[in-house]
């Protein structure tokens, strides 16, 4: 018979059988754990019958045997409105698997090993046993049948005996059990049947009934299973659909060209026709896209079984519910998300949901729930997998990330909860062998993230301790056509996929002067208070550097600068483009392999006018501009960035420059400035000797620099107030010792980078540190903190005394070996100031940019190499407190005296400083106090020796 059948009809058989198997396993999934659904049983029965019939026709006797066994075992169920036991369903699943394997082995013998006959026997006998157990039937009958099959007597008689056996078993049951219900009876009125279900596994008490009650009857149970009417659908090769898709893509391009042409020419007929063409093409495109769409349920439904089996293996009780299974996605995308979702669900079962005992302890129902929801949301499909398990333990995550050296210990406390959760996506965060040791959930989550991002999607994770974890995937509907933003740069046009687009910002000269700044020659933009790093296409496409760019942007700002704000893992960045042209649906054409090396392109597209445009790879651009280092190098970017910033701050210093009555430039280090405010004269009140304004529910004392420095001869404030009641004046808000002070100035000029030191320092004039070249101008640097001291009258040391003390001290110094000081400070301005003071005393100074570097230097030093450690408190990576604690914890360094030098001089801080082991806690820019303290401390030390 088989000779008469062509190869083609065999292929047809394989395809159909596989399709049926897929459908049937879905029915089975739905039958599992729910009340009886006669329609489903019928469909199941019919399909299995079809498989049996065709398998016989094509001479696949093993498949026919298994199908027959399944069919026969379902016969009593079909007639008797029974609820299948989970044991029974498992064995049915096993049969299905076997059939699928047999089909595969027949279809591609080279790739699939033949199925062993023993396995078939085993599987079929397992089915029989489960049925027998269900009906409390005589096991001997089953054994007999089992033996028969083992002897491979597969005759039709044999099958008949099997049928008889099932018949007799069920009849036997019907007689003995009074609780049998007729076919059409309402399933809900049948409370007792589940109690009749014999449990093969005592650890799973009554799962079927319990689940049925908990889920409630979902309306879907009664719906007709899909794919019933075989005449209304045909089977089409995927490659044909792919070709159709490509052709439609071409057509969209032609349509675009026609549209563009018709708009350029005033031909109404043409315009009319082209608009019709536009409509038809759009519709065609949509419909053709639909042919490739598959309901996401085709993969999600598999998870029901997957979770079932996993739960059994893990000895947990887990129920999975799926919502929005009808949401449709492009076929290729469905394939692409299968593995990531499997991974997420496995994680949820393995690490998310606790075992029943643990759940009871926490007052949760023993049955854990995983919910998978999918829905369309603004052109994307959102898939949410949530569990009600224990959630992520941020402390454990953190300690693990530190242990894996993904972040430094000091960084830990600064991370927000959300940032900590994101750590699970870092490559190398977790490895398979650590799964059970750590409660963390990040088993290969980086792979999930990479795979989802590969198809243009995004992953997000939320978690609440002991409440559960939710992972959200956003997937584009299709890959072939994507919405994009078209931008221009010089003569070229580029497309940016809109998935990565956050917003568009246009900066013109008015606001740009304040918001667009340069940090180390790199442009940054203040976007609603946050610093947005900017990347210019000049930099990316021409690999141009620094100052050139600064000039260019300054010129460009007159005409306005267009910034495209784009999302990356390490935060948003702004891409400066020449012009923003349009948005368009573009057809993505893959580029040859070698373009991948350039990093910045993800493909190309053909524009309406027929020209080719490149599509930017947003992550690639970020990488090219050194914005996204962590993905490739396994490093914590923020760490690196802060380190780079610290280094940068040393090389030059940001100064706030302002004008006073006398004319000329004045400046203070920007790091001392809290805010810039404007007040009008009418806001001012007087309190004792102070002029104050109310500011943020507190009193802000004002200090007039003009008055302090003697530039304002008419010191009568009333006068000023009278002349300009409503006029606003700028105030620089400075913090000192936890108090705010307002510095009145005439105008704020700019924030400038100063890469020079203070020239000719002035000591005799209070309030002035010296002059400095900032930009091209000479600026007088104001000693704000000193001035505040003068006004508040605190710790004022007379300037006269200073000269004598320091003189005598330095003399003392030269007599013995020079004092060697390790100095940690991250702010360039203070580094220079303090170093100068120390060097003038003849001390040897080694500088570190932060606590961590200081510790490293100390660690690698010879014993006794440093006589003293002088450190700032607030530094990136490792603070002064942490540094002190660390030094004190190591025996050979514990004796080294520590001095803190800081702007943070609150009682609590001083107290804390003492606790961690600082000998002195000093305020910055008090040279005489500093020298005195150093002197005293080093004396104390030598005298104790």
Partner 1 sequence: MNEPRPTNERESPAQDRNREAVQFSTFTVAGRLYGIDVRSVQEVTKSLPITNVPLAPIYIHGLINLRGQIATAVSLKDLFELKEPAPPEFMNVVCRLDGFLISLLVDQIGDVIELSSDAFEPTPDTVSSQVAKFMDGIYKTPGNLISIIDVRRVLEVLND
Segment 538 to 557, residues that bind partner 1, using CB under 8 A:
540-543
What is the helix (H) or strand (E) element at residue 220, kind and residue range? none
Quick one: which of 557, 591, 629, 773 contacts partner 1 (CB under 8 A)?
Answer: 591
Q: What single string gives the DSSP state of each residue in 611-652?
A: -EEEEE-HHHHHHHTT---HHHH---HHHHHHHHHHHHHHHS
Pairwise CA distance, residues 426 & 697, whole Å: 43
What is the helix (H) or strand (E) element at residue 351, kind and residue range? none
Pairwise CA distance, residues 50 & 783, whole Å: 93
Closer residue to partner 1 in complex, CB, 610/803: 610
Pairwise CA distance, residues 276 & 815, whole Å: 97
We find the least distance from the C-beta atom of residue 802 to partner 1, in angstroms, to be 59
Looking at 378-386, 436-444, 605-613, 771-779, which segment touches partner 1 (CB under 8 A)? 605-613
Please give the C-alpha separations between residue 22 and each of 29, 81, 226, 299, 302, in angstroms, as whole numbers.
Answer: 11, 24, 12, 10, 9
DSSP assigned state of 757: P
Identify whether the C-beta of residue 824 lies closer than 8 Å to the C-beta of residue 872: yes
Closer residue to partner 1 in complex, CB, 604/819: 604
We find the least distance from the C-beta atom of residue 594 to partner 1, in angstroms, to be 4
Identify whether the C-beta of residue 633 lies closer than 8 Å to the C-beta of residue 543: no
Q: Where are the alpha helices (DSSP H) in 135-237?
A: 139-150, 156-176, 193-196, 207-215
Q: Is 611 in the site for partner 1 (CB under 8 A)?
A: yes
**What angle do the packed helices 927-944 and 828-840 form, to 10 degrees?**
60
User: Cα-flanking dihedrals φ and ψ of residue 691, to 5°?
Assistant: -100, 130
Closer residue to partner 1 in complex, CB, 614/754: 614
Closer residue to partner 1 in complex, CB, 253/822: 253
Identify whether the C-beta of residue 98 lies closer than 8 Å to the C-beta of residue 120: yes
Q: Is 243 in the site for partner 1 (CB under 8 A)?
A: no
We find the least distance from the C-beta atom of residue 806 to partner 1, in angstroms, to be 58
Quick one: which of 606, 848, 870, 878 contacts partner 1 (CB under 8 A)?
Answer: 606
Looking at 21-29, 78-86, 248-256, 906-914, which segment touches partner 1 (CB under 8 A)? 248-256
We find the least distance from the C-beta atom of residue 612 to partner 1, in angstroms, to be 4
Quick one: which of 191, 437, 529, 594 contacts partner 1 (CB under 8 A)?
Answer: 594
Looking at 587-595, 675-683, 737-745, 780-788, which segment touches partner 1 (CB under 8 A)? 587-595
Looking at 63-71, 339-347, 604-612, 903-911, which segment touches partner 1 (CB under 8 A)? 604-612
Looking at 25-33, 249-257, 527-535, 896-904, which segment touches partner 1 (CB under 8 A)? 249-257
Closer residue to partner 1 in complex, CB, 543/907: 543
Q: Are strands 868-871 and 820-824 parallel, antiparallel or unpaired?
A: parallel
We find the least distance from the C-beta atom of residue 41 to partner 1, in angstroms, to be 49
Q: In what order do the strands lie in the sheet with 728-736?
A: 673-680, 728-736, 739-744, 698-704, 690-695, 685-687
Closer residue to partner 1 in complex, CB, 289/606: 606
Size of site (CB under 8 A) for partner 1:
26
Q: Is 614 in the site for partner 1 (CB under 8 A)?
A: yes
Looking at 183-191, 537-545, 700-708, 743-751, which segment touches partner 1 (CB under 8 A)? 537-545
Sign (positive/negative) of CA torsion 693, 696, 700, 704?
A: negative
Q: Is 579 in the site for partner 1 (CB under 8 A)?
A: no
Pairwise CA distance, residues 499 & 588, whole Å: 14
Q: Is 859 in the site for partner 1 (CB under 8 A)?
A: no
Q: Is 892 in the site for partner 1 (CB under 8 A)?
A: no
Closer residue to partner 1 in complex, CB, 254/277: 254
Quick one: which of 159, 208, 329, 604 contacts partner 1 (CB under 8 A)?
Answer: 604
Identify whether the C-beta of residue 138 lies closer than 8 Å to the C-beta of residue 85: no
We find the least distance from the C-beta atom of residue 589 to partner 1, in angstroms, to be 5
Looking at 250-258, 747-755, 826-834, 868-876, which segment touches partner 1 (CB under 8 A)? 250-258
x-or-dash string of contact with partner 1, 253-292, rule CB under 8 A = xx--------------------------------------
Closer residue to partner 1 in complex, CB, 159/619: 619
Identify whether the C-beta of residue 534 lies closer than 8 Å to the C-beta of residue 557: no
- Among the listed residues 616, 578, 589, the one whose alpha carbon sits nearest the alpha carbon of residue 600: 616
We find the least distance from the C-beta atom of residue 237 to partner 1, in angstroms, to be 19
For the chain, the first-to-last Cα distance in angstroms comes to 106
Looking at 441-449, 511-519, 607-615, 877-885, which segment touches partner 1 (CB under 8 A)? 607-615
Closer residue to partner 1 in complex, CB, 339/609: 609
SS3 of 871, please? Answer: strand
Pairwise CA distance, residues 38 & 81, whole Å: 7
We find the least distance from the C-beta atom of residue 607 to partner 1, in angstroms, to be 9
Q: Is 424 in the site for partner 1 (CB under 8 A)?
A: no
Pairwise CA distance, residues 655 & 671, whole Å: 8
Quick one: which of 311, 600, 785, 878 contacts partner 1 (CB under 8 A)?
Answer: 600
Looking at 12-20, 310-318, 612-620, 703-711, which segment touches partner 1 (CB under 8 A)? 612-620
Q: Is 615 in the site for partner 1 (CB under 8 A)?
A: no
Identify whether the C-beta of residue 332 lies closer than 8 Å to the C-beta of residue 376: no
Identify whether the C-beta of residue 105 lies closer than 8 Å to the C-beta of residue 112: yes
Strand extents, DSSP E, 253-391: 293-295, 318-323, 328-330, 368-377, 380-387
Quick one: which of 595, 680, 730, 786 contacts partner 1 (CB under 8 A)?
Answer: 595
Looking at 82-90, 316-324, 536-544, 740-748, which segment touches partner 1 (CB under 8 A)? 536-544
We find the least distance from the C-beta atom of residue 264 to partner 1, in angstroms, to be 18
- Among the listed residues 604, 607, 628, the one whose alpha carbon sits nearest the alpha carbon of residue 616: 604
Identify whether the C-beta of residue 498 lies closer than 8 Å to the C-beta of residue 482: yes
What is the helix (H) or strand (E) element at residue 393, kind and residue range? none
Q: Is 239 in the site for partner 1 (CB under 8 A)?
A: no
Closer residue to partner 1 in complex, CB, 621/641: 621
Segment 473 to 502, residues that bind partner 1, using CB under 8 A:
491-492
Q: Is 147 in the site for partner 1 (CB under 8 A)?
A: no
Quick one: which of 250, 283, 551, 755 contacts partner 1 (CB under 8 A)?
Answer: 250
- Among the listed residues 86, 162, 163, 149, the one whose alpha carbon sits nearest the alpha carbon of residue 120: 149
Closer residue to partner 1 in complex, CB, 250/685: 250
Identify whether the C-beta of residue 346 lies closer than 8 Å to the C-beta of residue 296: no
Closer residue to partner 1 in complex, CB, 80/620: 620
- Residue for token digits 């942007």? 553
Q: Name every residue whose Cβ is closer than 8 Å to that of residue 699 and which is 6 or more positions away in sequence.
A: 687, 692, 693
We find the least distance from the C-beta atom of residue 587 to partner 1, in angstroms, to be 9
Closer residue to partner 1 in complex, CB, 325/541: 541
We find the least distance from the C-beta atom of residue 254 to partner 1, in angstroms, to be 8
- Residue for token digits 């659904």? 37
User: Cα-flanking dihedrals φ and ψ of residue 817, to 5°?
Assistant: -65, 140
The answer for 827, left when phi > 0, alpha when psi is -120 to 50, beta otherwise, is beta
Quick one: which of 151, 528, 593, 776 contacts partner 1 (CB under 8 A)?
Answer: 593
Closer residue to partner 1 in complex, CB, 613/657: 613
Q: Are strands 698-704 and 728-736 parallel, antiparallel or unpaired?
A: unpaired
Which positions touch partner 1 (CB under 8 A)? 249-250, 253-254, 491-492, 540-543, 589, 591-595, 598, 600-601, 604, 606, 610-614
């Amino acid at each position: 018979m088989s000779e008469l059948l062509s190869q083609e009809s065999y292929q047809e058989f394989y395809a159909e059988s596989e399709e049926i198997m897929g459908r049937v396993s879905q029915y089975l999934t739905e039958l599992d754990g729910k009340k009886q659904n006669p329609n489903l049983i019928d469909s199941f029965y019919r399909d299995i019958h079809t498989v049996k019939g065709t398998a016989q026709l094509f001479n696949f006797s093993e498949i026919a045997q298994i199908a027959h066994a399944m069919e026969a075992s379902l016969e009593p169920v079909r007639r008797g409105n029974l609820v299948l036991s989970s044991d029974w369903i498992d064995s049915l699943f096993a049969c299905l698997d076997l059939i699928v394997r047999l089909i595969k082995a027949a279809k591609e013998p080279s790739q699939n090993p033949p199925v062993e006959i023993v396995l078939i026997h085993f599987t079929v006998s397992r089915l029989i046993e489960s049925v027998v157990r269900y009906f409390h039937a005589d096991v001997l009958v089953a054994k007999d049948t089992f033996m028969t099959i083992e002897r491979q007597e597969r005759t039709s008689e044999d099958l008949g005996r099997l049928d008889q056996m099932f018949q007799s078993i069920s009849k036997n049951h019907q007689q003995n059990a009074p609780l049998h219900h007729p076919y059409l009876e309402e399933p809900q009125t049948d409370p007792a049947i589940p109690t009749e279900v014999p449990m093969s596994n005592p650890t799973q008490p009554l799962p079927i009934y319990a689940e049925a009650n908990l889920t409630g009857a979902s309306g879907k149970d009664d719906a007709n299973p899909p794919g019933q009417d075989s005449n209304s659908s045909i089977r089409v090769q995927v490659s044909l659909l792919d070709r159709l898709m490509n052709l439609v893509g071409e057509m969209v391009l032609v349509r675009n060209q026609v549209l563009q042409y018709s708009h350029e020419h005033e031909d109404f007929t043409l315009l009319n026709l082209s608009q019709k063409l536009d409509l038809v093409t759009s519709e065609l495109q949509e419909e053709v896209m639909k042919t490739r769409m598959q309901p996401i349920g085709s993969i999600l439904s598999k998870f029901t079984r997957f979770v079932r089996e996993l739960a059994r293996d893990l000895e947990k009780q887990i129920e999975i519910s799926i919502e929005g299974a009808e949401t449709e996605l492009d076929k290729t995308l469905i394939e692409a998300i299968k593995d990531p979702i499997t991974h997420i669900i496995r994680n949820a079962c393995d690490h998310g949901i606790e075992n029943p005992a643990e759940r009871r302890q926490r007052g949760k129902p023993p049955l854990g729930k995983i919910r998978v929801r999918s829905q369309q949301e603004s052109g994307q499909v959102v898939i949410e997998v949530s569990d009600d398990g224990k959630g992520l333990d941020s402390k454990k995550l953190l300690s693990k990330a530190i242990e894996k050296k993904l972040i430094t210990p000091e960084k830990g406390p600064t991370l927000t909860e959300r940032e900590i959760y994101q750590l699970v996506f870092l490559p190398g965060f977790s490895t398979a062998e650590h799964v059970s040791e750590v409660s963390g959930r990040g088993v290969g989550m980086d792979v999930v993230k990479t795979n989802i991002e590969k198809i243009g999607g995004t992953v997000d994770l939320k978690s609440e301790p002991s409440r559960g974890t939710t992972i959200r995937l956003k997937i584009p509907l299709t890959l072939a056509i994507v919405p994009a933003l078209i931008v221009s740069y010089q003569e070229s046009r580029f497309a940016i996929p809109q998935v990565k687009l956050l917003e568009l910002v246009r900066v013109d000269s008015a606001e740009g002067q304040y918001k667009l700044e340069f940090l180390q020659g790199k442009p940054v933009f203040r976007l609603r208070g946050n610093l947005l790093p900017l990347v210019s296409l000049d930099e990316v496409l021409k690999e141009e550097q620094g100052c050139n760019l600064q000039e260019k942007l300054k010129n460009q700002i007159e005409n306005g600068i267009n910034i495209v704000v784009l999302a990356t893992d390490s935060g948003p960045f702004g891409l400066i483009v020449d012009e923003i042209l349009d948005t368009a649906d573009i057809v993505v054409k893959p580029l040859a392999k070698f373009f991948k090396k350039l990093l910045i392109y993800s493909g190309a597209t053909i524009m309406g006018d027929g020209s080719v445009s490149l599509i930017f790879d947003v992550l690639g651009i970020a990488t090219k501009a050194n914005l996204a280092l962590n993905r490739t190098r396994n490093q914590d970017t923020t760490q690196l960035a802060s380190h780079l910033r610290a280094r940068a701050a040393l090389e030059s210093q940001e100064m706030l420059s302002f004008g006073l009555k006398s004319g000329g430039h004045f400046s203070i280090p920007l790091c001392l400035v809290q805010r810039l405010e404007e007040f009008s004269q009418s806001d001012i009140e007087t309190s004792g000797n102070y002029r104050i304004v109310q500011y943020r529910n507190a009193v802000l004392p004002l200090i007039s620099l003009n008055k302090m420095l003697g530039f304002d001869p008419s010191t009568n404030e009333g006068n000023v107030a009278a002349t300009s009641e409503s006029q606003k004046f700028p105030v620089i808000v400075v913090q000192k010792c936890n108090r705010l002070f307002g510095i009145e100035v005439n105008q704020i000029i700019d924030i400038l980078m100063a890469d020079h030191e203070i020239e000719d320092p002035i000591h005799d004039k209070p309030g002035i540190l010296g002059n400095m070249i900032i930009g091209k101008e000479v600026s007088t640097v104001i000693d704000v903190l000193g001035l505040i001291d003068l006004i508040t009258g605190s710790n004022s040391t007379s300037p006269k005394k200073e000269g004598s003390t320091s003189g005598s001290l330095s003399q003392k110094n030269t007599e013995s070996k020079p004092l060697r000081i390790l100095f940690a400070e991250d702010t360039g301005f203070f580094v220079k100031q303090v170093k100068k003071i120390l060097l003038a005393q003849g001390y040897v100074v080694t500088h570190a940019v932060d606590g961590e570097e200081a510790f490293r230097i100390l660690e690698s030093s010879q014993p006794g190499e440093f006589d003293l450690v002088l450190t700032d408190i607030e530094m990136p990576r490792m603070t002064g407190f942490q540094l002190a604690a660390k030094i004190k914890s190591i025996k050979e360094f514990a004796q080294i005296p520590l001095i803190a030098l800081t702007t943070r001089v609150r009682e609590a801080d001083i107290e804390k400083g003492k606790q961690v082991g600082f000998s002195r806690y000093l305020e910055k820019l008090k040279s005489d106090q500093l020298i005195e303290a150093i002197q005293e401390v080093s004396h104390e030390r030598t005298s104790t020796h």
